[in-house]
Structure 1
Amino acid sequence: MPNRHTAIVSALGLTQIIGYGTLYYSFSILAPHIAADLVISLEEVFGVFSISLFVGGLSATVIGRQMDKIGAATVLTLGSVLSALTLILCAWSPSVAVFAGGIVLLEVSSGMVQYQAAFAALVEHDPKTASRNITYLTLIGGFASTIFWPISTALLDVLSWREIYILFAALNLLLCMPLHFWIMRQGKTIRANGIRQAREHVVGAIPLENRRKAMLIVSAAFAILGFTLASILAHMVPMLATLGLGSAAVVIGALFGPAQVASRLINMVFGSRLSPPILAVMSAALIVGGIVILGITGSSLAGAVAFAICLGLGSGINSIAQGSLPLYLFGSDGYGAITGKMAAARLASGAAAPFLFAIAMEQFGIAVSLVSTAALGVIGMVAFISVAYETRRNLVEAA
């Protein structure tokens, strides 16, 4: 990558690690301490979090439109400030009601600083190289949980959850915000110098007359896969323990993160040979395959390991597809609004998934729940296959 591209991807990679680490991954570590401090149950804390994820998902459409209107880098900059302020609000909250309002606002700000906005910033900076840069970015961002789970755990030995949120607010305001502002200034410099004229647009592979149908299919597919992933990930470790894997469940669950990073590294090296529609199909196949393996093998240690690795590989590729597939199919014009609509469907469905999967396990058992979730994933995979076929047919006819 040219030096400017390298610097921007590196800066966004750091802000994604901090954004996901402070606004998402740390929550599960801090939740028991939040519940004890606010004198509510852990289930109620996660209930508030689920509601906030749903509201955050609904806000993605508005955020996407604003990225097209004022620029994704500008949204990232404002989002860093809002993230810091809402973290401070949560830390100060004297009651459950104020805390709940703060968490809802926190998820809205998350949509302004995480992958959706970062991908759009890469498209905004240079549409021609955005697809490749999205792969680089997700490789860096994949370390967020690996870094912030242990950091959050270690901080609890010396700080309260409120003090940790103040520290996280400082990271967003004093580190992420200046980096996002710098990226915003880079974009303005490029436009002022006329550098971007020759690389202004990427034309989508789907003709305009078929775009609405394709957008509905792709949005539904991502929403279904998002629901499938969220269902499993929220219950992964306790589910494995219930299946009879005991203390090994934690170790097996820990394989998910490295597998995500590995899939992005493999795609970075070999992914140029695969189109985004094929990547989307592969991600769905790996996720479904992993769930099927666990459903078939039950308490088998080898089966559980294969399940965690397949799920991680599929999830890692899915993150790349969320950014590269819309660009490939629909082009760079209106990219923010398009990905905003897709993110809204995916995040809203993912917010309800853990609750519904928990009910399914209680009512029908783990095996039936896994089979049902895998069947749902197959529908998403078929949707991606239909888009891949349609895209290939259009390219052949245009040749």
Structure 2
Amino acid sequence: MREAGNAIPFATISALGLTQIIGYGTLYYSFSILAPAMATDLGITLEQVFAVFSVSLFVGGLSAPMIGKQMDRAGAATVLTVGSGLSALTLALCAWSPSVAIFAFAIVLLEVSSGMVQYQAAFAALVENDPKTASRSITYLTLIGGFASTIFWPISAALMGYLSWREIYLLFAALNLFLCMPFHFWMVRKGRAANAKGAAKERERVIGAIPPSGRRSAMIVVSAAFAILGFTLASILAHMVPMLGSLGLGTAAVVIGSLFGPAQVLSRLINMIFGTRLSPPVLTVISAALMVLGVVILGLSGSWLPGAVAFAICLGLGSGINSIAQGSLPLYLFGSDGYGAVTGKMAAARLALGAAAPFVFAMAMERIGIGMSLFATAALGVVGMVAFVYVALTTRRGLVAAE
């Protein structure tokens, strides 16, 4: 389909879909698989490895607003291109690291580069391309990106049988440099070519549902809700496969964990077909409820295989919708003007709180056990769900009053 008017930009979505799979797979999902080997190689504990990861998430959160402003200023495609090069460089630095200090520094840089190449930047690129089609484009993109965990959890586990974690990171660096960076640079050149030919017309603006007077309070509530749900999800994802193994599921843990990705894709496919009937605030409530339900199921079922399968599916369904909401809800509430800066601020809150999630959850499992840790995480998720319910009700009342 032609990329003009209100047509969906399928070429751009396809390119971003591939780079999102590689970006999330190499920079995020592989970490929990490789972490035990990292700890053994560096002579530190697994908790210390996840502590480094938590610090990197925190620094990544601090950098998100700055990255968001740069996307508004220089263009999201340019940020994506630079981010791919930085990702490759930091993966190589991590693979080379001769000491814990250099390893820690590389992991921190890795999280900063992640903010430049993952969904925050990709969503901004789609809004930049055409705000009117951005919500649909975000759904299509997340439909593709949902395969990241399904592909990279098994790949990372399989590669551990043949390569060291350092060699795997070098391979991942090559993927970012030789696949992701060229696609992102193609997007930059495509945008410049359109401008040079005068083909780029003034895009229609999307006006947010929240009036200017209520934006500050809405930003606080929405940012807090996404941050709380982000903490819940990050706690589980960082430990998902090892945690399932510790519950007694053995080799089935990787297979069960791999269901998370298809469940994400399924939720996005359902949303693509039927989601137009639901507003983004309602979708966020549904996503939060599914994630909480999944965690509760695992806490109650333990090593029971059907319960673990239901957990992975519910968590994936909720996470899939949540990923869409992270892009569509800010656009719906606050509009397209300054979208990069808005999502940057929201990402900062989410990543700052989620930074502690891998370390806190690892420590909780060690101190109070997996079951109690899951129930505590679910309780926190309920708080986020209530906040989204408040946003949905408030937005609906505002729209009714405006009619």
- After TM superposition, the score normalised by the length of structure 2 is 0.91
Root mean square deviation, CA, Å: 2.2
CA shift, 1:195, in A, is 4.3
Q: How far is the alpha carbon of 1:192 from its aligned partner?
A: 4.1
Counterparts of residues 332-343 of structure 1 (less than 5 Å): 332-343=336-347
Q: Does 1:78 align with 2:82?
A: yes
248, 252, 267: which is aligned to 2:271? Answer: 267
Task: State the match for 1:284 in structure 2.
Answer: 288
| Counterpart amino acid of residue 15 in structure 2 | A
- 2:51 aligned partner: 47
Counterpart Cα distance in 2 of 1:103 and 1:325: 30
Find out whether 1:182 has 2:182 as its counterpart. no
Provide the residue aligned with 2:396 in structure 1. 392
Matched, 1:124 2:128: yes
Moved more, 101-110 or 1-10: 1-10
Structure 2 counterpart of 1:2:
2
Q: CA deviation at 1:121?
A: 0.5
Amino acid at match of 1:396: V
1:250-399 matched pairs, under 5 angstroms: 250-399=254-403
Name the CA distance, whole Å, in 1 between partners of 2:303 and 2:160: 34
Please give the per-residue CA displacement for 1:272-293, whole angstroms capped at 9, x wherever unaligned.
2221111111101111222233
8 Å contact 1:252–1:308 — kept in the other structure?
Answer: yes
Superposed displacement of residue 39, structure 1: 3.1
> Does 2:240 match 1:205?
no
Deviation for aligned residue 1:143: 1.1
Alignment length, in residue pairs?
399
Greater CA drift, 377-386 or 165-174? 165-174
SS in structure 2 of the partner of residue 265 of structure 1: helix
Question: Separation in 1 of the partners of 2:40 and 2:312?
Answer: 32
Letter in 2 for 1:110: S
Aligned partners of 2:117, 2:365: CA distance in 1, in Å? 34
Distance (Å, rounded) in 2 between the aligned partners of 1:110 and 1:239 = 25
The answer to whether the 8 A contact 1:138-1:264 is kept is yes
Q: Identity of aligned pairs, percent?
A: 77
Question: Match for residue 30 of structure 1?
Answer: 34
Q: In 2, Cα distance between the equivalents of 1:350 and 1:380?
A: 13
Alpha-carbon offset, residue 57 of structure 1: 1.7
User: Structure 1 pair 244/44, CA: closer, same or farther in 2 (3 Å)?
Assistant: closer
Q: In the TM superposition, what is the alpha-carbon distance from 1:373 to its structure 2 partner? A: 2.2
Deviation at 1:56, TM superposition (A): 1.2
| Contact in 2 for aligned 1:84/1:173 (Cα 8 Å) | yes
Q: What amino acid is the match of 1:268?
A: M
Q: TM-score, normalised by structure 1?
A: 0.92
Amino acid at match of 2:2: P
Deviation, 1:177, is: 1.2
Cα offsets for 1:227-247 (capped at 9, x unmatched): 111223334445445556565
Q: Distance in 2 between matches of 1:56 and 1:191?
A: 32
Equivalent residues of 1:126, 1:196 under 8 A apart: no
Letter in 2 for 1:2: R
Deviation (angstroms), 1:308: 2.1
Alignment of 1:55-74 (within 5 A): 55-74=59-78
Q: 1:39 to 1:221 in 2, by over 3 A?
A: same
Q: Deviations over 1:197-244 (max 9, x none)?
A: 442411111111101111111000000101111223334445445556
Contact 1:86 1:106 survives alignment (8 Å)? yes
CA contact (8 A) 1:72 1:121 kept: yes
Structure 2: distance between partners of 1:388 and 1:359: 35
1:171-210 deviation digits (Å, cap 9, x = unpaired): 2222211211111222233344454444241111111110
